[in-house]
Structure 1
């Protein structure tokens, strides 16, 4: 039985999926972190190989526990690696991965940034010329991919992904920051004097409740309090780093906007969705450095926890349509490893049966 491997290498875990030639997922496993920015090559290989071996044991019960087998256990493999932002970064681990799987670098062993797995629907859309991956989670990034000569996504441009200090448009941090600004500005506009209690479920009520304060200006000392010392655990917002005190607000903002229909929260999510849409437009116009990307021939592939919320994703897509960019298809990739493994099977399965 031919097997196809996809590995989503992230900062918190390694997710592995194995598909058969029909694209059906036959095994899965998770392992330790595998962002190559923060690990030595040896640590990276150790975590990745343990996760792959665990999945392979499920796919082939009774098979030898080692991956170093002849013939190689996988017909093709695809690694989406967090931190693989340059050829030099990939070169640090490429020889070891090639040896581990018994596959030469090339069409059957693809190593790229983890956003490449989000673009895997390009393999199953034969008429698409490009895929655009938009990640909106705690952080954000947008990356454009062209269809390579082998049918695999080949990165051609990117926008954003600079972290919370410099960008992350449309991310959890951006939503939280915009919500805080909206609450503080509304408080300033109301002027001094007594205030009515905020409506239950409203954005103001959510923000004040999270920081456990009675007024908007009382948020500031709680927001700017020093980060907790390493190993020290505290309750409430004080127990989080300042960045997390902001990004963790996103779920309550979404609840206020999409469930309670609070006007202030709705303005916040429309604003932040629009910022990510602007970034996507700049990516389309940048194209491959020579010509813009035609959205009508492009698959828009979303990933990340915020993009997984249908209402938020719809705001981004609607904003893009108002700007004249209507995509061939819009896909939320909630399981990049599984989507990648199935995409490999679609590309190579017919030649392996």
Structure 2
């Protein structure tokens, strides 16, 4: 009963960290995707089981060869904190809590904390005693923005949230949005070209994106549409070895997996088209953050739970805003909207921060 577990569950990976009562990390492991809304309770708990079991395995010195099991008859962890992508409602919290309680044999209650993954990001608020408010903005595979205030006893109280609606309805500024906006801008340029006049400037990114989907030449850009809209795959690469890889992933992944190409073209090649796409996406994420903020001089009665940027910390998390140049564009867009935060932090290891906080 001296171990503390924190698990950061996201759309791309699961990060499990275990520490002792002094806050020293004893074990950690990564697992596959564990977005609760996408997977459902059975697949979600299985993804958590694998990550936690492997993290326990690394606690053994030397590491054991066989994965450590999670015996239902024993209590391994004193406290557990889960930050879960896709847990966005009280009902989702209850469902996830019940499944995790059964998996880890930790009773639902104060020893088992289950919340959205943005809660883990707000931990830096405790590092700045001169402020009491924070906005946590996640932009990885998906996106979500949540505001918090620190209570007199040091706990975090959620004030408001926006986004976190998944790839069909939102994910502004996240990986799916970047991929979708890239294809949208390629097709818009094709539409403009059909009107005659000046042709868009050449872009290496356009060629790479279209070639990924088996389309040769920007003049054939509309040919990408049938590929993007094909139904979810029903077979695996082993069953269809000659089928292009983009046809064997879920529709959401067909677009979210384009983000690394866009970032490379923008920040390593200086491709103007790629930079334009990222500014559009960064602006959308900045709008989400601004929605939870209150402008200088704005009547508090109009947004009583709004956070004043100059008296708050903005906590970023996720793979996309982990890229400093992209983060800077988001901050530039926010400044243009009149929101400059007193502190800006990037939390690159939310599970480790959460585990130490539990201890």
Structure 2 length-normalised TM: 0.78
1:257 maps to 2:266: yes
Contact kept, 8 Å, 1:223 with 1:245, in 2: the verdict is no
**Secondary structure of the corresponding residue to residue 209 of structure 2:** helix
Instruction: Indicate yes or no: 2:325 matched with 1:311.
Output: yes
Residues 270 and 48 of structure 1: CA distance in aligned 2, closer, same or farther (over 3 Å) = closer
Deviations 1:282-310 (A, max 9, x none): 12249996232012232222222211211
The Cα of 1:267 is off from its aligned counterpart by 1.7
Query: Which of 137, 140, 151 pairs up with 2:140?
Result: 137
Deviates more, 1:167-176 or 1:149-158: 149-158
Shift in alpha-carbon separation, 1:67–1:314, aligned structure 2, 3 A = farther
**Following the alignment from structure 1 to structure 2, what is the Cα–Cα distance between the partners of residues 43 and 191?**
47
Q: 1:178-197 maps to which residues of 2 (within 5 A)?
A: 178-191=181-194
Tell me, in whole angstroms, the C-alpha distance in 2 between the residues paired with 1:213 and 1:198.
19
| Structure 1 residues 1-353: aligned runs within 5 Å | 2-10=2-10, 14-30=14-30, 34-37=34-37, 48=48, 51-56=51-56, 58-59=58-59, 74-94=77-97, 97=100, 100=104, 105-106=109-110, 108-191=111-194, 202-225=204-227, 226-227=230-231, 229-233=233-237, 234-285=243-294, 290-345=304-359
Q: Say if 1:53 and 1:67, in contact at 8 Å, map to a contact too.
A: no
Per-residue Cα deviation, 1:22-49 (whole angstroms, up to 9, x for no partner) = 4332211345665444667676556545
Change (3 A) 1:331 1:216: same
| Alpha-carbon contact 1:184-1:216 (below 8 Å) kept | no
Q: CA RMSD in A?
A: 3.7
Cα distance in 1 for residues equivalent to 2:14 and 2:233: 28
Q: List runs of 5+ in structure 2 lacking aligned partners.
A: 63-67, 238-242
Unaligned runs of 5+ in 1: 346-353
**1:56–1:240 Cα change, 3 Å:** closer
Q: CA deviation at 1:98?
A: 5.5
Distance 2:183 2:36 in 1: 34
SS of equivalent residue, structure 1 residue 131: strand
- Whether contact under 8 Å (1:131, 1:153) holds in the other structure is no
Secondary structure, aligned partner of 1:92: helix
Distance 1:315 1:126 in 2: 28
Pair 1:145–1:69, CA change in 2 (3 A): farther
Q: CA deviation at 1:220?
A: 2.2
Cα 1:125–1:37 shift into 2, 3 Å: same
How many Å apart are 1:151 and its aligned residue?
2.1
- Going from structure 1 to structure 2, the CA distance change for 1:342 and 1:183 (only over 3 Å counts) comes to same
TM-score, normalising length: structure 1: 0.80
Cα deviation, residue 178, structure 1? 2.4
Instruction: Go from structure 1 to structure 2 and tell me whether the alpha carbon gap of 1:164 and 1:228 turns closer, same or farther (over 3 Å shift).
Output: closer
